[in-house]
Amino acid sequence: MGSRTHPGRPRKVSVEDTLEGALQLFWERGYEGTSIADLSRALGVSASSLYATFESKDRLYLRCMRHYGETRSEFVQEALAEENGIHALQALLIGAALAYGESGAGCAILAAQPGAAVDTELSEMRRKARERITRRIRRAQREGDVTRDLRASDLSAYVQTVMGGLSGASRDGASAAQLHRVAELANATIESWRA
Amino acid sequence: MGSRTHPGRPRKVSVEDTLEGALQLFWERGYEGTSIADLSRALGVSASSLYATFESKDRLYLRCMRHYGETRSEFVQEALAEENGIHALQALLIGAALAYGESGAGCAILAAQPGAAVDTELSEMRRKARERITRRIRRAQREGDVTRDLRASDLSAYVQTVMGGLSGASRDGASAAQLHRVAELANATIESWRA
DNA sequence: ACCTTTATGTAGCGATCATTCCAAAATAGC
DNA sequence: GCTATTTTGGAATGATCGCTACATAAAGGT
């Protein structure tokens, strides 16, 4: 299945560009608030082309959310790579405040509403993100950065709760500066988690 | 206009019951995820009756959100009535964790997605809630419960951000116990705001 | 009994929804 | 230039959307 003898007509818009454009609409208006006609109009591609490339609206939405995860979560990787565990978590919240403040639409995945079978996969994505934070905290506890008196899963839940709150505040119109100040208040809590 | 001479046919379902039932659907599935046909089926009332009583889907939704505010925010009043300012804010988060944990659908107003002209009013409701918290914090600062080194509006924003995060976590399936533990972590921050 | 008033259900409105069919267009290999 | 392959746009699918017209049912006032 790798012969590739006959090429066919070239696509008007690349898959990458389509995902990026569709993401913007889904991100701002949500899954149910974005119709195929909206996407077709905004992208300059007919509905049938979208269906030929991405099987259904569900699948396209899912691809967009994965695309979001791949292109908008660098700040998570960078923050968790901080040597000191406390600094890592604090950098995570500051990074979230900055990222959500820039976009003005919060986190596409955390802000997604329940809807059909898509929600299962999104919930799984959120669970994995939380798990990544939990593992980083466990490592910090092993390394003596974070106290062992508190459960890593609880601390992780707190961090993701604040991130979700920042996401919501961003969508509600909070300024980047405002989000930053909230993140700093939350970081005072994290400061108290030192071993 | 208070004569009331001719009564007319009695309604099958009271306005109160209709609002309560419609709220349940809107709360769980959101505005766009709930159709008039869904409401008609769930309430046992025809669509035309709904339109005769509530002018439009927008207005019905708005009435439901107000109904939510009137019947589900007792914990806010009770918490903010606490004598000590620090305790008031802490009770607010604990109360939110309890309330959102019970419903399993978070806060209907904080979790509402942007959509048409309805969003303006919901945003206003959130703003008023935040203002109420801000005023309580200012009072606490006057009474010497909370430090004057931090801006009341920032502290209020933090509290509402955590509430929004708890709401989202609840919708994502977090248990009441889990929400409670997160609230207690957030309350450690609030503890540090003592004057 | 009749009248006024209000709420009811049925049927239907045009618009939009996600999705599909299909023929034409555009490419590379032969 | 032909063929195979793939994407394209336009038209149409049935279903559902929010909403309305209309005739009838159920009450109290007289």
B155 and A185 within 8 Å at the Cβ level: the answer is: yes
Average pLDDT in the B66-77 region?
Answer: 96
Q: Which nucleotide is nearest to B11 (CA to C1')?
A: C7
Question: Over chain A, what is the mean pLDDT?
Answer: 94
Q: For residue A149, what is the DSSP state?
A: S
Note which residues in 31-90 of chain A have CB less than 8 A from chain B.
32-33
Listed by range, residues with Cβ under 7 angstroms from strand D are: A 5-13, 44-49, 52-53; B 5-10, 34-38, 47-48, 51, 56-58
Task: Measure the CA–CA gap between B133 and B139, rounded to whole angstroms.
Answer: 10
Task: Measure the CA–CA gap between B150 and B54, rounded to whole angstroms.
Answer: 45
Confidence of residue B7 (pLDDT cuts 50, 70, 90): confident
> Does the pLDDT at position B97 exceed 90?
yes
Task: Measure the CA–CA gap between A4 and A68, rounded to whole angstroms.
Answer: 30
Interchain CB contact of A23 with B (< 8 Å):
no
What is residue A187's three-state secondary structure? helix
What is residue B23's three-state secondary structure? helix
Contact between B97 and B176 under an 8 Å Cβ cutoff? The reply is: yes
A185 and B33 within 8 Å at the Cβ level: the answer is: no
Which residues of chain A lie closer than 8 angstroms to B160, CB-CB? 165, 169
Q: How far is the CA of A5 from the C1' of C21 (A)?
A: 27
Record the pTM: 0.94
Q: Flag the least confident range among A3-17, A144-158, A179-193.
A: A3-17
A166 and B166 within 8 Å at the Cβ level: the answer is: no
Average pLDDT in the A3-24 region?
Answer: 88
Which residues of chain A lie closer than 8 angstroms to B150, CB-CB? 185
Q: Which nucleotide is nearest to A52 (CA to C1')?
A: D7
> Does the pLDDT at position A68 exceed 90?
yes
> H helices of A44-191, where?
47-53, 57-72, 74-80, 85-103, 118-142, 152-171, 176-191
Confidence of residue A39 (pLDDT cuts 50, 70, 90): very high
Contact between B105 and B28 under an 8 Å Cβ cutoff? The reply is: yes
Q: What pLDDT does residue A187 have?
A: 97
CA nearest A108: which of A170, A169, A183, A28?
A: A28
Q: What percent of chain B has pLDDT over 90?
A: 90
Most A-contacting residue of B185, B190, B193 (CB-CB within 10 A), to test interface: B185
CA nearest B122: which of B106, B109, B135?
A: B109
Average pLDDT in the A100-128 region?
Answer: 90
Q: What pLDDT does residue A117 have?
A: 65
Q: For residue A194, what is the DSSP state?
A: B
Q: For residue B144, what is the DSSP state?
A: T
Q: Which residue(s) pair with A146 in the sheet?
A: A194
Across chain B, which distance is largest between two alpha carbons, in Å? Answer: 63
